[in-house]
Amino acid sequence: MRLAGQHADWVLGFMDETWWSRLAQPALHSWTAGQPLRLIEQVPAKGDPDPKALACYGLLRTDTNTVWLRFVDGRPVSHVTTTFLGWVCERLASERKRVLVLIWDNASWHLSREVRTWIRQHNQRAKREGGVRVLICRLPIKSPWLNPIEPRWAHSKRAIVEPASLLSAAEVIARVCDYFKVEHMEPLKQKVA
């Protein structure tokens, strides 16, 4: 982390994935005058086409204190992780950055052979042709409190909650993008075998 701070063309980033449930309500306290506010787990209507939860990748950049988001059609898996990393590297390259020091947890899709191979090949190509190299630092196992993006997930889930009705998937995405002040982009696609 110290090394990343010494170079203007390096970026320190914390990456994580989260799920945005349309049904389950976050733990929340409220102060009211009169009747207390009750958050009730919502039930989707029969035939509701939207998923019960939406997966999302996020990267917290420490240099700008911003979060970059991409939602996923499906769930976080290795090839979606590499697609997200490629997208992040393209954006950083457009800012003339050279290295992304990426700190993340030990999720199975982070440790997979596919992701490790993609990072190795990407770094070789970036060194040869120019681009952003990815330097991975893993957090200790079972230590989510060390990742500063985790509290942002918790606060944002409380901020977008709708106590009286069920939000559609599009409404959840719009509220999340508004909360983090990011543009909604096309969701990353999960390949189906």
User: 161 lies in a domain?
Assistant: yes
The enclosing domain of 168 has a CATH number of 3.30.420.10
DSSP H stretches of helix in the chain: 2-5, 78-94, 108-111, 113-129, 149-159, 169-180
Among 140, 150, 170, 157, CA closest to 67: 150
The pLDDT-based confidence of 42 (bands split at 50, 70, 90) is low
The pLDDT-based confidence of 193 (bands split at 50, 70, 90) is low
User: 35 lies in a domain?
Assistant: no
The pLDDT-based confidence of 44 (bands split at 50, 70, 90) is low
User: 128 lies in a domain?
Assistant: yes
CA distance 52 to 75: 12
User: 34 lies in a domain?
Assistant: no
Position 47 scores a pLDDT of 77
User: 171 lies in a domain?
Assistant: yes
Position 181 scores a pLDDT of 95
Give the N- to C-terminal CA distance of the chain in Å, as an integer: 39
User: 46 lies in a domain?
Assistant: no
Residue 66: give the domain boundaries.
2-22+51-189
Position 97 scores a pLDDT of 94
CA distance 157 to 14: 19
The count of structural domains within the chain is 1
Position 37 scores a pLDDT of 61
User: 96 lies in a domain?
Assistant: yes
Mean pLDDT in the chain? 87
Residue 12's DSSP bridge partners are 101
CA distance 118 to 86: 9
Contact between residue 57 and residue 17 where contact means Cβ atoms under 8 Å apart? yes
User: 40 lies in a domain?
Assistant: no
Q: Kind of pairing, strands 10-21 and 53-61? A: antiparallel
| Tens of pLDDT, residues 112-139 | 999 999 999 999 999 999 999 999 999 8
Mean pLDDT over 97-102 rounds to 94
